[in-house]
């Protein structure tokens, strides 16, 4: 009689097709040992009817874990229901015999981990690297990682987020800035709290070839009473390319500054 295995439930993961599932377990240095059709009365979809599910057994194939002297006992069990096509219920058992291969990590963050980081930033609006790391260690993502190997360090996530900002957000293309300014010009139907662009000049930024963009809104302009003192101040540290940011406003009797 085969020995009973106490499986630890990891989580339910979604893979759009079999190739994506293969990419996942290949990234964990795992290979398929068994792929059997089994009968279950419940699955990740909550159905209580008797139906067939695929039970896939994965074993560790890492060269660091499997040597002439030792064989790694770490394994996965994956249940895939035909009624829930994208959902895979994942379990694990055992510990790795050695330190898993780290050659790929030495070259940086793995591609599927980068996709998870992008999902945090663009779909879940999580931009702080520390919060991204917490999310990656969460229940939803945990089944996609061998946590000790594939979860990036905080420094790695910080560097990758900076790279995305440089590549996607700070491209410094003047054509994109012109499109942005044109799309946000003042019009009669603009709301009181909607900003608009004014006074734009698209030069090189030199003394004789100015580059400038002004931003304000109806509500900010409505703050200006008669007979007030105006203030302006500038800083170059908030803009990557060194252009000064000048803030223009007024002060009240309580010495509070109100930007306009």
Model confidence pLDDT, tens digit, residues 204-251: 777 788 888 899 998 888 888 776 788 888 887 766 666 788 888 888
Answer yes or no: do 133 and 199 share one domain. Answer: no
Answer yes or no: do 190 and 246 share one domain. Answer: yes
pLDDT digits (tens, 9 = 90+) for 102-124: 444 445 787 778 888 888 887 77
Answer yes or no: do 95 and 107 share one domain. Answer: no
In the listed set 101, 119, 152, which residue is the last one of a domain according to the structure? 101
- Looking at residue 56, what is its pLDDT? 87
Average pLDDT over residues 7-18: 77
139 vs 258: CA distance, rounded Å: 45
95 vs 72: CA distance, rounded Å: 8
pTM for the model stands at 0.38
Give the burial class of 113: count Cβ atoms within 10 A of its Cβ; 0-12 exposed, 13-18 middle, 19 or more buried. Answer: buried
Answer yes or no: do 147 and 201 share one domain. Answer: no
Answer yes or no: do 16 and 96 share one domain. Answer: yes
Is residue 92 a contact partner of residue 60, using CB atoms and an 8 Å limit?
A: no
47 vs 223: CA distance, rounded Å: 61
Q: What is the largest CA-CA distance in the chain?
A: 94
In the listed set 75, 101, 127, which residue is the last one of a domain according to the structure? 101
pLDDT digits (tens, 9 = 90+) for 58-91: 888 887 777 777 888 888 888 887 666 667 888 8
Domain encompassing residue 211 = 174-259
Tell me how many helices (H) and strands (E) the chain has: 9, 10
Checking DSSP bridges between strand 87-93 and strand 75-81, what pairing results, if any?
A: antiparallel
Domains: count for the chain: 3
Answer yes or no: do 92 and 123 share one domain. Answer: no
Answer yes or no: do 8 and 81 share one domain. Answer: yes
Answer yes or no: do 69 and 133 share one domain. Answer: no
In the listed set 170, 191, 224, which residue is the last one of a domain according to the structure? 170
Answer yes or no: do 137 and 181 share one domain. Answer: no
129 vs 120: CA distance, rounded Å: 10
**CA-based nearest residue to 244, from 216, 204, 211:** 211
Answer yes or no: do 224 and 164 share one domain. Answer: no
Answer yes or no: do 42 and 136 share one domain. Answer: no
């Amino acid at each position: 009689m085969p020995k009973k295995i106490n499986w630890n439930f990891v989580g339910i993961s979604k893979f759009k097709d079999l190739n994506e599932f293969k990419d996942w377990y290949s990234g964990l240095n795992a290979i398929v040992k068994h792929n059997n059709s089994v009968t279950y009365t419940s699955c990740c979809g909550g159905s209580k009817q008797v139906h067939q599910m695929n039970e896939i057994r994965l074993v560790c194939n890492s060269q660091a874990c499997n040597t002439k002297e030792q064989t790694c006992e770490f394994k996965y069990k994956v249940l895939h229901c035909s009624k829930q096509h994208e959902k895979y219920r994942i379990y694990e058992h055992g510990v790795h015999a050695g330190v898993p291969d780290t050659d790929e990590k030495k070259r940086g963050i793995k591609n599927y981990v980068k996709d998870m980081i992008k999902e945090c930033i663009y779909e879940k609006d999580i931009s702080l690297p520390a919060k991204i790391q917490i999310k990656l260690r969460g229940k939803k993502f945990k089944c996609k990682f061998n946590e000790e190997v594939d979860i990036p360090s905080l420094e790695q996530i910080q560097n990758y987020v900076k790279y995305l900002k440089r590549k996607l957000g700070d491209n410094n293309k003047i054509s994109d800035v012109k499109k942005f300014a044109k799309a946000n010009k003042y019009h009669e139907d603009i709301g009181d709290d909607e900003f608009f662009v004014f006074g734009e000049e698209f030069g090189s930024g030199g003394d004789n070839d100015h580059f400038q963009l002004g931003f304000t809104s109806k509500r900010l302009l409505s703050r200006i009473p008669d007979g007030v003192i105006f203030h302006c101040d500038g800083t170059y540290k908030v803009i990557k390319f060194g252009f000064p940011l000048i803030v223009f406003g007024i002060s009240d009797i309580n010495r509070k500054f109100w930007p306009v």
